[in-house]
Each structure stands twice: as C-alpha cells, then as structure tokens.
Structure 1
Amino acid sequence: MFRKIIVPVDISVLEKGLDILNKAADLLDEGGQIVLLNVVEEVPSYLAIDMPVDVMDNAVHDAGDRLRELMHNAKVDAKIEIRTGPPAREILAAAKSHAADLIIIASHRPDFSNYLLGSTADRVVRHATCSVLVRR
C-alpha cells in the first residue's frame, strides 16, 4: 500500500502514538519504511534567556528515548527522527525530504481555539502533498 510513512508523535500522549504507529505498520508495504518523528518546539527567545542552556538538548534527548520506548512497545521497526521548530512545518518538511507517500497523524477533538488558530493536524492536511490519515 505505502512505501514510506511519516508518523509524527506528540510524546506527551504516547497512547495515541502507539495507535498510529500500529496503523502505519498495518499499511506499510513489504520493504517499506516508517519514519517515527517528534518535533521539539523551540523556546521563544524572550523566554530562553531565563532557561538553562541545555534545555533544548535535554528535550531532544528525552524525545529520542520516548520514541525508542514507543517503538519497543509496538514491536515495530522504524527510523527515529527528531526535528526542532514549528510542528506542522517540520512534519511537512520531513514528508518532503523522505518522499513520503503517507503521513499518519493523531488528532484531538477540536475546541474553540482550533477554529481560530487551527491544529497541527489541520495544517498538515491542508498543506501536505502526499496522502494524510488523521486518527482520532
């Protein structure tokens, strides 16, 4: 079905990550690849001045550990990638750089703020050049 699947995971809700990772494994062609992705949002410069220097390094390291744990629990082989920046932009950039043919992303039920700003999943769906599967 799909040769390259991007699975962006919010490490604060790993149960949703487990669900979409298992779905990706079900949809993956033999010989295909899953890219398990986490995007660490950068700290705004006006806040960064009061934070320890290694806070971003620690966040990236923690994200890698959590994704490895998720991969182990799902018993799914995947390439782990950590990016920094705005989540939607980095998910789309990862899909483009890996020539992905599917992005599987978890979404929560929209609330009022989503109608004003749009969620990460909304932005990915609107701007992706490949297929996108949104799991609730």
Structure 2
Amino acid sequence: MIRSGKIVVPTDFTEQSSEALRRACVLAKKFDAEVHLVHVIDPSLYFETDMISIMPLDEISEAQHEGAKKRLDEQAATVDCPVITHLEDAVTEAARTISIFAGKMDADLIVIGRHGRQGMLEHMLLGSTVERVVRYAPCSVLVAMPHGLVGAAEAE
C-alpha cells in the first residue's frame, strides 16, 4: 500500500480536511510515511458584474499566498506527526491539480475529506471534488467521511 512513503492530504481548511489529516498521520506512523498537506489556490478573480476573469494583481496574489501558507502551518500544527506543507496554484480545476501534484510527488495515497451532502441537481451538474480526485488520481484514494454522514449513509 505505501511504497514510496508519501501520503498527500488536500485541504480547504475545513474540519473535514482536518479529519483527513488526522487519519493520514495515523497511517504515516504505521507505515513510516511522509504527510504532504497541500492547498490549491485559484489564481483567478471573478467579477459578477462584468462576468470576466482576470489575473489578480501582485499584491492580491501575494496576500492570498501568505494567508494560505499561515493557515497551512496552523493546520499542520494541530497533529502530532511531521507535516510538509505545499501551496499549488491551480492549473485547472482543483481535483486535477491535486491529482497532478500527487503524481509529481509519486504519492502512494491521497487522503481527502468528504463534505456533507449537496443537492441532487448540484451533484448531477458538478459532481464533487472528492469524486473527481478519485477519478483522476494516479494512486489510491482514502475518503474520510464526516462523522455525521457515517450514520446517515448507513440509514439509507
């Protein structure tokens, strides 16, 4: 299961991604692996009034990266295992960027947190980032379910 000793954990700084990080640390200790916490930054700004996308100004981009780096470091400090943090600028949608990153890292496993339920129409049109990561991933993917969904999924 863990050959190269690398586990990638994508984060959007939610409790679900924190849970995925905790689970990745348990596996990392068991298999003597590295944990790589990655956050994908979307470099575009969207203005609804004009419906255009422009590249952000240098100051905005720098502030966005600094804020994300601070949050990555804070999240990494919440677990009791060493965590290597990464910021990735989106080259495409987040799921593909995560998968490309995992491939470049030669990762053995991606541990990703699943969010709560979304509406049926939204799911049909967009799917979820987790589903797309599973589809595009170059390695195995462990989906960490939120605590509230585990019992709900069994009830269905």
TM-score normalised by the chain length of structure 2: 0.77
CA contact (8 A) 1:22 1:76 kept: no
Give the aligned partner of residue 120 of structure 1.
129
Query: How far apart are 1:16 and its partner, in Å?
Result: 1.8
Query: How far apart are 1:52 and its partner, in Å?
Result: 4.7
For these two proteins, the number of residue pairs brought into alignment is 132
Query: How far apart are 1:54 and its partner, in Å?
Result: 1.7
CA contact (8 A) 1:4 1:99 kept: yes
Correspondences of 1:1-136 after superposition (within 5 Å): 2=2, 3-11=5-13, 13=14, 15-28=15-28, 29-30=31-32, 32-44=33-45, 46-48=52-54, 52-85=57-90, 86-108=93-115, 109-112=117-120, 113-136=122-145
Q: List gaps (5 residues or longer) in structure 2.
A: 47-51, 146-156
| Residues 82-120 of structure 1: CA deviation (Å, up to 9, x unaligned) | 001121111001110010010011112232312211111
The whole-number CA distance in structure 2 between the counterparts of 1:110 and 1:135 is: 17
Q: List gaps (5 residues or longer) in structure 1.
A: none
Alpha-carbon RMSD: 1.8
The whole-number CA distance in structure 2 between the counterparts of 1:103 and 1:110 is: 22
Q: What amino acid is the match of 1:40?
A: I
Query: How far apart are 1:131 and its partner, in Å?
Result: 0.5
Query: How far apart are 1:75 and its partner, in Å?
Result: 2.6
Identity percentage of aligned residues = 32
CA contact (8 A) 1:42 1:84 kept: yes
TM-score normalised by the chain length of structure 1: 0.87
The whole-number CA distance in structure 2 between the counterparts of 1:55 and 1:96 is: 29
Runs of 4+ in structure 1 deviating by more than 3 angstroms, as ranges, are none
**Which structure's CA Rg is the greater one?**
2
